[in-house]
Structures are given as structure tokens and as C-alpha cells.
Structure 1
Amino acid sequence: MKNFKPNYMKYLVLFFSFASANMAFSQSEMSLQDLVNTALEQNYNIQIFKNNQRQAVNSNTAGNAGMLPDVDLTGEYRVSQGNSNQQFFNGEGQSATNATSTSLSGNIGVNWVVFDGLAMFARKEQLEKLELLSKEDVRFYIEQTAFDVAQTYYRLAQEKKLLESFRTSLRVSQTRYEFEDRAFDVGSSNGLDVQQALVDRNTDSSLVLNQKAQIRELEIELNRIINRELTSAITPTDTIELTGDFNLVNLMEESRANNAELNQQQLLELIALSDAKIARGLLFPEVELFGNYAYNKQENEVGFLSSSRQFGPNFGLRIRFNLYSGGQERIRAENLSIEAESENYRSSDLQNEVEASVRVAYLRWISRLEQVQLEKESVEAADLALKIASKQYEIGTLTNVDFRVIQLNAVNAQSRFLEAQFAAKSRELELQRLSGKLMSSVF
């Protein structure tokens, strides 16, 4: 008879080992909004994109576009010493040892390109588009990060509910095992029933252990995204609520206007057009105004001049025009125009892709909502069947095999219901992301 009794010490060891592991994970109840806020503040990639945006803002100036003049100031003071021996045609001469010469010079110059084929205006336009693109990059990555956080968060919430379902099933199996063990002690059950009940209980115990491990993995992934201590446990305070009320026509219009990825591509198309304009500007002459004011003073101990001084302005107009360079500028301008055309095709293709994604996500969202209702009915029916089966099993009118089938049906129904809920919520999040409304739904 002892051969059929469980090894309680083994289960105590397992229990305390997992309890110790749980203590290593600091408990933390967090809402989805808490996690998203933490990600916005601490996620490394978001900070990198924000730095890129700051660089783009700094670069967007008229001077960086070449629209302002260059002003240079130079100055020099020089002392020279040397030995000199000079003979003149009239027979006279002079010599000096360590003769000193000093010179002082200064110059301020202005160069201003006033015409370059309008390339400077195209560059300024491009810098403005690059700044807008950097903002869209930040927005896109924030939305993508929030989407990843929400997906993982709701998956974690569902897996924790599934863990409770597995634990409930384990308690049922434990009760059944104890019932069979007592029945065996009084001779009303055989060893086969006891062993089968033990196998079923251990199977349910394994499900609980595997589910705990999966929850740990999800917590680690969430902590990685929000740049938080990886071993911190997360207890979701939000549950899945399917509150989305979507209209396909509105979704299509919102995605065309607000989709971050589509906005990025449209800006890339405009930047490519600016590149083509800049290249075409090189085909025109460049007109530059220049002006200088110079001052020079020199003093010599020997030589023809003992001192000299010069100062005054000079100014003018300079024109540069490349007459021939193998047609390189023309070829480059044509290729960039072709590239701008390709970007236009990419924009059209991406718009079709986004619209297709919206339609598919919408259809799946409707399908998942219907599935949620069906699985909810299945859960209610399976729970009721399990209650009835438990009573029949206790009075001996239901076999072990039949009871186990009904028990597994209840667990599977709950699992399918939770999965259907998560799938519907995922489609809801996807529709909000595609239409540019994800962040407003989170906050």
C-alpha cells in the first residue's frame, strides 16, 4: 500500500525551491500606462532616436543650407632676423648682423554665394523635411515600443490567468488522487486507478511549472523593453477589455493621414525630390559676391625700405561655371530624378500595403470577437460539466477516464478563451497602431 502513496517530501522540496525563486523576483503591480511611461523615459532606442531628432533640429538652419555669407578674419605678426651683406651698382654697400624685420598684417573677408541655381533653397527645404522625418522616426519607434509593451503586457496577464486555471485543475487532480488513495486503503479501488490519478496529478503539476517559467520569460522581456531590472516581477493590474469600436471606412482614412510609417515614406519622397533639385542647381552658374579689407605694415633694419604700410578694401563679383566635366553633373541630376520617381512608387506601394494590413486586421478583429463569444460559452458549459462530473465521480457513476476527459475539456476551454481574448486584443492594438491612434488609446 505504501508503494501507491505520494512522496510528499519531493513535492515540499519543489514547492520551497519555487518559493525561493519567487522571492528573487521583486513584486511590482503595474498598469499598462505605467509600463509605457517607463519605456518612454528609459528605453535606449527611444533615447537614440530623440538624439537624432535633436541633431536634425540643430542642422536645420539657413547657414547650413548655404544661404548666408562666410566671414573670415586673419591676422599675423612676424619677426625675422638675419645677416645681410648688400653691394649696390654705385659701388656702395651695407651689411648688418642679426638685422630685424617685423611685419603686421590683418584681413577680414566676406564671401557670399547669391545664386547657385536655387540649390540653397532646395537644401533648406531638405533640412526642414529631415527635421520632420526625425520627428516621425521618434513617433514611429515610440508607437512600435508601446505596441510591443502592450502585446507582451496583455500576454502576461492572460498567461497568469491560465496559470490559475492550471492550478485549479491541479487541485482537482490532487483531490481525485487523495480520493483514490483513501478508496484503495479501504479496498474499494485498485492500484491502477491510484497510479493513473497520480500520473494525472503530476501532469498537471508539470503544466503549472511550465506556465510559471513562461511567465518569467514574459516578465524578463517586458523589463528589457522598458530598461528595468530584468529580475523584477510584474503583476498586471489591467485586464483585457475589448472596447474598440472600429469602422473600416474611418480606419482607412485615418491610416492614410496618421500612419507613422506612411508619413515617413512620404517625407523620404520629398527629400529625394530635394536631392534632385540640388543636383539640377549645379548645372547653373554660381554667382558670388566677395569683399576684403586688408592692412599690412612692415619695418626693416636693412634693405631698400625702412618701413611700409598698406591698407584698404577690395571687392567684386565672381562667377563660376563648369563648362564640361564629362556630363557628370547632368547624369547625377537625372539619376536623382529617377530615384525621386522610385520613392514615389515606394510611397504608393506602402500605401497599398497599409490599406491591405488595415483590411486584414479588421477582418481578423471581427472574427476574433465572434470567437471570444463562442469560447466564453464553451468555458461556462465546460465548468458546469466539470461540477456535474465531480459529483458523479464521487458517487462512483463516472469512470476515471471519463472524468479526466471532462477535466481536460474545462482546462482547454479556458485556454482557448484566453487565447481568443488575447488575439482579439492584438488585432485591436494593430488597428490602433495602423491608424495612428495607439498612444491616445493607451493614455
Structure 2
Amino acid sequence: MKRTRLQFTLLSLLFVLQGVVGVAQEQVLSKAEAIAQTLENNYNIAVAGNSVLIAENNADLLNSNYLPTVFGLAGTNYSVQDQSTDRDDGGSFDLNNAKSETYNASVNLEYTLFDGLGRLYNYRSLKETYNLSKLEARETIENTVLQLFSVYYEVARLTKNVEILEQTLEISRNRVKRAGYQFDYGQNTKLEVLNAEVDVTNDSINLMNTRQLLQNTKRDLNVVLARDLKEGFAVDTNVVFIPKIQLESYIDMAEENNVRVLQSESAITLSEYDIQSSKARFLPTVGLSGSYGWNQSISPASAFFGGSTRQNTGWQGGLSLRWNLFDGGTSITQFKNAKIAKNNQELLKQQIKLEVARDVANALGNYENLVEVFEIQEQNVITNKNNFERSRERFNLGQITSIEFRQAQINLINAQTNKNLAKYEAKFAELQLLQQIGQLLNIEF
């Protein structure tokens, strides 16, 4: 019997030392720090940021076709020919290996003065595409922040569960000691001792499994933070809910702030620019060109002329107009399709607005329900604590059996873990609601 007590004592010390070492080595990762590290390091957010930079580059004046094109040309030609010329007097002139050489170099400029305003609307379309890319990046950030807190609150929940199971194990170990002493003095049977030892074993296994699950979930969080998987940390387990009046003010502005609605509005604007660009195909294009060049030509002697070398240097300019009076109907078809595409985007916006209204209503309903569940679970914990304390008193007085005491203990464990689950589920539901109403990135954590 003494050996069994020694084994349980060593096991208890092992669990205590593990808990103390873990707390000593781990610093608290606050919610604000977690968001900052995610925004800085997360790979999905980095990719979205690069996409925004690409769209910004595309929307620059250098990609607008408003600037002229300047290019240089240079070339040379060399030929060797045998020439034979018959003269009127019946004679002939033969020239073998006659060499001809030409050289040219020029700097040229081309500029479109007018293209039916096509480039104007193309440029505006690029600007709007840049705005749309920022909205897409915002959506990526919102989804990543939700992913972050889904894992963060799971770490918090498991942390609190570990604390509950540690307290449970401590109570069960004390029960083993008490049952052992009572058995030594003949106050109970061996069965009471064995029941207590079985409960300690079960509580120890539950604690070990929960600790392992906690470590796994911490690694999941490190993946979201894009840092070393071995990085140790603790999390802030406190939860503060946003006041109801503040949430209501956010909900009133949901349609104006929801990222999907904003994206649909941007898509409609892009469709309008496509219509205007297609109209430009019905108007003429006026272009300006100019060049400054040098040419040299070296000619061999012939029957009537001696060899010569000619050089030309000078400016050249021109103005051109091109007007497609009829292009087989391509421009008309493009214009009609652009108008239909805009109509489709307007229909999609109405669909998205309806879906967003539904999602906001569902998210609000889920949040309010989970908050109510959490409040019920809080009261349930109080009730089960009172029941457990009374059961422990009666068990110590021998008025109830160990089985009844254990049932009260299990009820308390379930109530506490259910309360933890309800608390973090309610907070995560609040974050989902904030995303739907477009305020997830505007609050302080």
C-alpha cells in the first residue's frame, strides 16, 4: 500500500513540475501582438500585398499610353553585283564585283493625340482595378484574422481546460491519500482505494491528452503566425464582448462596409469603363510621328556615272488619321456585350446584398444565442460548484459514496469545460459578425 502511495506521489510531482516549467518558459502572446505578427509574416497576406503592388504599378502613368513612344533604328545593307550595260553605239560596259553600301540611323517618336478617349477609360479602369485589388487584399486579411482567432481561442480554451483538469487531478490525488489512510485504519474497504486510484489514472490520462492537444494547437497557431513551430508561448484567456449598442451601430452600416458589397460596386464601375472604352472604337484615331535620321549611300561606278557617296541628315514629321468606318461588326458586338456585362454585375450586386443581409442576420442570431448559452453555462458552473462542495463535505463525513462524489466531480468538470467552450465560441461568433458588417479590422483586440 505504501509503494502505491509513493508511485502516485511521484506522478503528482511530475505533473506539477511540468506545469511549473511550462509557465516559467512561456511568455503571453497578446491578441494585439498576434495580429501584428500575422500582418507582418503571414504568407497569404504577403501574397495579397504583392498583388496590390502589381495593380498599383499597372495603374501608373507609365502604363497609361499617355506618354509618347521613342525608339531608335539603325541598319546597313551591303551588296556585290556583276553589271553589264549595252550602249546605243553597240558597245557594252561590264563591271564585276560592283559594291553598294547603305547605312542609316534615326531616332523616332510616335504619339497618339486622340483615340476616341479609349486610353482615358482604360487608365481609369486600371485605377479601379487597383482599388479592387485592395478590397481583395482586405478580404484576405479578414479571413486570415478570423483563422488566427479561431486557433488563438482554441489555444485559450485548451489552456483553461488544462487548468481545470490539473485541479481535478489534485482533488483525485487527495482522495487517494484519504482513502489510503482510511483503509489503513480500517475505516473503508480496499474497493474505495481502488476506485480512487482508477479515477486518478483517468484524470492523468485526460490531462496528458489535453496537454498534447494544446501543444498541437499551438503549433497550428505558429503556422498562422509564420514563425518557428517550436516557439513557446501562452495566450491571453480573457474575453471582453463589444457592447450591444456599439454592435447595433455597426450593423446599421453593414451594407456600406461589407467587403463583398464594395467589391461588387467596384466591378460595376469597371463594367462602365469597359462600355466607354468600347465606344471609343467608333471614333477616329489621330497620331503624330517624327524622326531625326542619318543616311549614307555608297554606289559603284556605272556605264554613265562614276561612283558616289551620298549622305542625308534631317528631321521628318507626320500626322495621321485612322477611322474604321466598318470593321465587320466587331465594335458593335463588343459594345453590346459590355452593356450586358454591366447589367450582369448590377444583378450580382443585388444578389450579394441579399446574401450579405442574410449572413449578417445569421451571424447576429448565432452570436446572441451563443452569448445566452455562455451566460447559462456560467450559472451552471456556479450551481455545480455548490453541488460539488456540498458533496465533498458529505463525502468527508461518510454520508455519500465515492461514486456519488465522483459524479459530482465529473458534473463540475463538464460544466466548467462547457462554459469555456461557450465563452470562446461566443467571442468567435462576434468576430464573424464583425466581418460581415465590415468592422473586423477597425476594432481593438
Query: Partners of 1:264 and 1:14 in 2: how far apart?
Result: 58
Q: Is the 8 A contact 1:154 1:239 kept in 2?
A: no
Residue of structure 1 in register with 2:143 after alignment: 144
Residue of structure 2 in register with 1:401 after alignment: 403
Q: Where do residues 83-94 of structure 1 align in structure 2 (5 Å cutoff)?
A: 84-89=82-87, 91=91, 93=93
Q: Is the 8 A contact 2:106 2:294 kept in 1?
A: yes
Residue of structure 2 in register with 1:343 after alignment: 345
Structure 2 residue identity aligned to 1:360: N
Q: Is the 8 A contact 1:79 1:102 kept in 2?
A: yes
Q: Where do residues 158-197 of structure 1 align in structure 2 (5 Å cutoff)?
A: 158-197=157-196
Residue of structure 2 in register with 1:319 after alignment: 322
Root-mean-square deviation (CA, aligned residues, Å) is 3.1
Q: Is the 8 A contact 1:31 1:238 kept in 2?
A: no
Using the TM superposition, name which of 281-290 and 192-201 deviates more.
Answer: 281-290
| Number of aligned positions between the proteins | 437
The alpha-carbon distance between structure 1 residues 248 and 35, as it changes in their structure 2 partners (threshold 3 A), is: closer
Q: Where do residues 240-389 of structure 1 align in structure 2 (5 Å cutoff)?
A: 240-246=239-245, 250-303=249-302, 304=305, 306-310=308-312, 311-321=314-324, 323-325=326-328, 327-389=329-391
Residue 59, structure 1, aligned to residue 58, structure 2:
yes
Residue of structure 1 in register with 2:417 after alignment: 415
Residues 87-125 of structure 1, C-alpha deviations (whole Å, 9 max, x = no match):
44253535365x654433123333333443432122111
Structure 1 residue identity aligned to 2:347: Y
Secondary structure of 1:74's partner? strand
Task: State TM-score, norm by structure 2.
Answer: 0.87
Residue of structure 2 in register with 1:198 after alignment: 197
Displacement of 1:15 in angstroms is: 4.1
Q: Is the 8 A contact 2:374 2:422 kept in 1?
A: yes
Secondary structure of 1:282's partner? helix
Secondary structure of 2:164's partner? helix
Q: Is the 8 A contact 2:284 2:321 kept in 1?
A: no
Query: Partners of 2:317 and 2:35 in 1: how far apart?
Result: 63
Task: State TM-score, norm by structure 1.
Answer: 0.88
Query: Partners of 1:172 and 1:10 in 2: how far apart?
Result: 13
Using the TM superposition, name which of 78-87 and 307-316 deviates more.
Answer: 78-87
Displacement of 1:285 in angstroms is: 4.2
Secondary structure of 2:244's partner? coil
Displacement of 1:136 in angstroms is: 1.6
Query: Partners of 1:315 and 1:113 in 2: how far apart?
Result: 12
Q: Is the 8 A contact 1:56 1:134 kept in 2?
A: yes
Query: Partners of 2:300 and 2:14 in 1: how far apart?
Result: 101
Query: Partners of 2:425 and 2:43 in 1: how far apart?
Result: 29
The alpha-carbon distance between structure 1 residues 322 and 185, as it changes in their structure 2 partners (threshold 3 A), is: farther
The alpha-carbon distance between structure 1 residues 392 and 382, as it changes in their structure 2 partners (threshold 3 A), is: same
Query: Partners of 1:415 and 1:249 in 2: how far apart?
Result: 30
Identity %: 22
Secondary structure of 1:397's partner? coil
Query: Partners of 2:308 and 2:299 in 1: how far apart?
Result: 5
Residue of structure 2 in register with 1:82 after alignment: 80
Structure 1 residue identity aligned to 2:193: V
Residue of structure 2 in register with 1:95 after alignment: 95
Q: Is the 8 A contact 1:252 1:355 kept in 2?
A: no
Residue 8, structure 1, aligned to residue 10, structure 2:
no
The alpha-carbon distance between structure 1 residues 371 and 121, as it changes in their structure 2 partners (threshold 3 A), is: same
Q: Is the 8 A contact 2:12 2:173 kept in 1?
A: no
Structure 1, unmatched stretches of 5+, are none
The alpha-carbon distance between structure 1 residues 86 and 324, as it changes in their structure 2 partners (threshold 3 A), is: same
Query: Partners of 2:247 and 2:26 in 1: how far apart?
Result: 41
Displacement of 1:85 in angstroms is: 4.8
Q: Is the 8 A contact 1:84 1:96 kept in 2?
A: yes
Displacement of 1:433 in angstroms is: 2.1
Structure 2 residue identity aligned to 1:95: L
Query: Partners of 2:206 and 2:336 in 1: how far apart?
Result: 65
Secondary structure of 2:66's partner? coil
Q: Is the 8 A contact 2:81 2:99 kept in 1?
A: no
Secondary structure of 1:82's partner? strand
Displacement of 1:144 in angstroms is: 2.2
Residues 125-146 of structure 1, C-alpha deviations (whole Å, 9 max, x = no match):
1101111112222222222222
Residue 70, structure 1, aligned to residue 72, structure 2:
no
Query: Partners of 2:335 and 2:419 in 1: how far apart?
Result: 59
Displacement of 1:80 in angstroms is: 3.1
Secondary structure of 2:415's partner? helix
Displacement of 1:230 in angstroms is: 0.9
Using the TM superposition, name which of 54-63 and 291-300 deviates more.
Answer: 291-300
Displacement of 1:252 in angstroms is: 3.2
Residue of structure 2 in register with 1:433 after alignment: 435
Structure 2 residue identity aligned to 1:163: V
Displacement of 1:213 in angstroms is: 1.8
Displacement of 1:392 in angstroms is: 1.1
Aligned with residue 394 of structure 2, among 388, 392, 395: 392
Secondary structure of 1:442's partner? coil
The alpha-carbon distance between structure 1 residues 144 and 14, as it changes in their structure 2 partners (threshold 3 A), is: farther
